Amino acid sequence: MERIINIHVKKLPEGVYLATSKEVQGLVAQGRTSTEAIEIARDVARKLMEARLERAKNVDFAKVSGFTNLFL
């Protein structure tokens, strides 16, 4: 699944680049160049979203909602 997210890249005083995104909680990537920071951010974003999807698959909605049975 392809998704477009906005990434903010900032050059730090140490000379490295920091990439973050308000759209993907926990996304922080650092690189020697802005391109490297973006490439790392892309990989981190993909892994974070995959982990969240996997966690969502394992949620027992009956327990979360307080119901013991769910009839559809």
User: What is the spatial distance between Cα 34 and Cα 9, in angstroms, rounded to a whole number?
Assistant: 7
Q: What is the pLDDT of residues 7-57, one digit of tens each?
A: 999 999 999 999 999 999 999 999 999 999 999 999 999 999 998 888 777
State pTM to two decimals: 0.72
Q: Which two tokens stand for residue 30?
A: 């650092």
Q: How many CB atoms lie within 10 A of CB 16?
A: 15
User: What is the spatial distance between Cα 50 and Cα 24, in angstroms, rounded to a whole number?
Assistant: 12
Q: Which two tokens stand for residue 14?
A: 């140490």
Would you call 25 exposed, middle or buried from its count of C-beta atoms within 10 A (0-12, 13-18, 19+)?
exposed
Q: Which two tokens stand for residue 33?
A: 């160049």
